[in-house]
Amino acid sequence: MNAEENVISLYKQGASTKVIEKQGVCSSAKARKILITEGLYESPRTAEVSKLVNSGLTTTQIAERLGIGVKAVNAYLPYKKGIYNSDTPTENAVRIRKHRSN
C-alpha cells in the first residue's frame, strides 16, 4: 500500500491527520492535501479557499483577502497534477527525482 492509500485508509478508520503523521506515514499537511484531493476532508478554511478559487480569484488574491500566505492557500487546495510519486510524473518531477537520486 502506498502512502496515499495508507492515508485514505487510516482516515476512513477514524485517524486524524495528526495521528497519521505520528504513525510516520507522512506529514499532517501532506495527509490533509491528499484527503482534500480525494474529496474526503473539508474544514471552514478549505471551504472558504475553494469558494474563492471557484469565484475566479488567484491564489495571490485569495492570500491577500484572507491575510495568509500563498503557500497557506495552496495547502488548502487539491493537487492539480496528481499525487506525489505518480506513475506518470511531469517532466519537472522526473528532473527532481533524478537530482535526488544523485
How many other C-beta atoms are found inside a 10 Å radius of the C-beta of residue 94? 10
The half-sphere exposure of 79 on its side-chain side, counting CA atoms within 13 A, is 16
Residue 19 has pLDDT above 60, yes or no: yes
pTM of the model: 0.72
Render pLDDT for 76-91 as a digit per residue (tens, 0 to 9).
Answer: 998 876 555 666 667 7
